[in-house]
Chains A and B, each alone.
Chain A
Amino acid sequence: AQSVSQHNHHVILSEAASLELGCNYSYGGTVNLFWYVQYPGQHLQLLLKYFSGDPLVKGIKGFEAEFIKSKFSFNLRKPSVQWSDTAEYFCAVNDYKLSFGAGTTVTVRA
Chain B
Amino acid sequence: EAGVAQSPRYKIIEKRQSVAFWCNPISGHATLYWYQQILGQGPKLLIQFQNNGVVDDSQLPKDRFSAERLKGVDSTLKIQPAKLEDSAVYLCASSERGDSYEQYFGPGTRLTVT
Distance (whole angstroms) from the CB of A48 to the closest CB of chain B: 11
The answer to whether B42 and A94 have CB atoms under 8 Å apart is no
The answer to whether B42 and A4 have CB atoms under 8 Å apart is yes
The answer to whether A100 and B42 have CB atoms under 8 Å apart is yes
Docked Cα-Cα span, A97 to B100, in Å, equals 8
The verdict on A27 contacting chain B, using a C-beta distance below 8 Å, is no
The answer to whether B106 and A102 have CB atoms under 8 Å apart is no
Q: Which of A63-104 contact B (CB under 8 A)?
A: 90, 92, 94, 96-103
Q: Which of B16-33 contact A (CB under 8 A)?
A: 33
> Which chain B residues border A103 with CB–CB below 8 Å?
40-42
The answer to whether B105 and A43 have CB atoms under 8 Å apart is yes
Q: Mark B85-109, 1 if CB is under 8 A from A, else 0.
A: 0000001010000011011111110
The verdict on B56 contacting chain A, using a C-beta distance below 8 Å, is yes
What total count of A-B pairs have CB within 8 Å?
44
> Which B residue sits closest to A42, measured CB to CB?
B107
- SS class, residues of chain A in contact with chain B: strand
The answer to whether A97 and B56 have CB atoms under 8 Å apart is yes
Known: A43-B105, A43-B106, A43-B107. A94 touches B100 (CB 8 A): yes
The answer to whether B108 and A43 have CB atoms under 8 Å apart is yes
Docked Cα-Cα span, A95 to B106, in Å, equals 22
Q: Which residues of A contact B (CB under 8 A)?
A: 4, 32, 34, 36, 42-46, 49, 51, 90, 92, 94, 96-103
10 examples of A-B residue contacts, CB within 8 angstroms: A42-B107, A43-B106, A43-B107, A43-B108, A46-B102, A94-B100, A96-B99, A100-B42, A102-B41, A102-B42
